[in-house]
Amino acid sequence: MSRALYQPKGKAGEYASWACNLFVGCPNGCTYCYNKTGRLSHAMGGEKAVLKKCFKDEEDAYLSFVSELIPKREQVSAGGGVFFSFTTDPCLPETIGLTLRCVRYAAGMWNIPCQILTKRTDWQSKAKLLMEVLSLPKDKVSFGFTLTGVDQAEPGASPNKARIRTMRQLHEKGFRTFASIEPIVDFDASTEMILQTLDFCDEYKTGLMTGNKNAYKGYDMPARLVKYVEDVRNLTSLKGIPVYFKRSITEILP
């Protein structure tokens, strides 16, 4: 049974064919966090990032990732590589060390693409971590940032402005970058996040907030969604940047 590497389904499956979850819980405090709702919230929705209970320690977690990846490496690579992570932020002080170790192994040893999606930039102030990040294979590792434009909905995360600044810096260093404009908390704010990152973002993925019936109360839906989609397409087409509209959007478009 897989403990580290798996094939996500449903909404997560729209992001990646293969993913790695080593920790659960997160201190970012996002008001919309899907890990805090549903039947598994007691296991995944904690306010602190902790190693999954199936691992004895971080060394055990790393060795599990290695042993699971080796026999599937060709399949994983063909499927687009490994995504980090759906059950925590992979760049927290508690998680980034093990994340980078696994990414170095997959990308450095087997040339497997790796995608890291985060809301944190505080690792940049740590010289050792910054050097580790910048030494990753630039042709195999891509960095993504969740950008909502609404800091108050993510009180423990780095400000959206800091994420945008770090995205630019990583792109200038040669890394491929992507933005997760999901969930859309405010349509204007989400559009602004795209506008501010057009010069250094290689791909956008965007989706609605789900599981909250009042999320878009006060908006004229689906008319407001149609306008958002048109605005995003107009902005990104000028730069030739691909956009993936998640099913949460496409399923309700007229």
Q: pLDDT tens string for the chain (254 positions)?
A: 689 999 999 888 998 999 999 999 999 999 999 887 766 666 676 899 999 999 999 999 999 999 999 999 999 999 999 999 999 999 999 999 999 999 999 999 999 999 999 999 999 999 999 999 999 999 999 999 999 999 999 999 999 999 999 999 999 999 999 999 999 999 999 999 999 999 999 999 999 998 888 999 999 999 999 999 999 999 999 999 999 999 999 999 98
Name the E strands within the chain: 5-6, 19-20, 23-24, 50-51, 82-84, 114-118, 141-146, 176-184, 204-208, 243-245
pLDDT at res. 2: 81
For the chain, report the end-to-end CA distance as a whole number of angstroms: 42
pLDDT at res. 11: 84
What radius of gyration, in Å, describes the C-alpha atoms of the chain?
18
Tell me, letter by letter, the H, E, C secondary structure of 67-126: HHHHHHHHHHHHCCCEEECCCCCCCCCCCHHHHHHHHHHHHHHHCCCEEEEECCCHHHHC
Please report where in the chains the tokens 């434009």 appear, as a residue. 149
pLDDT at res. 91: 98
Distance CA 135, CA 128 (A): 11
Distance CA 220, CA 184 (A): 15
CA distance readout (Å), 150 to 126, 144, 180: 26, 17, 14
pLDDT at res. 12: 86
Question: Where do the domains of the chain lie, and which CATH numbers do they carry?
Answer: 5-250 (3.20.20.70)
SS3 86: coil
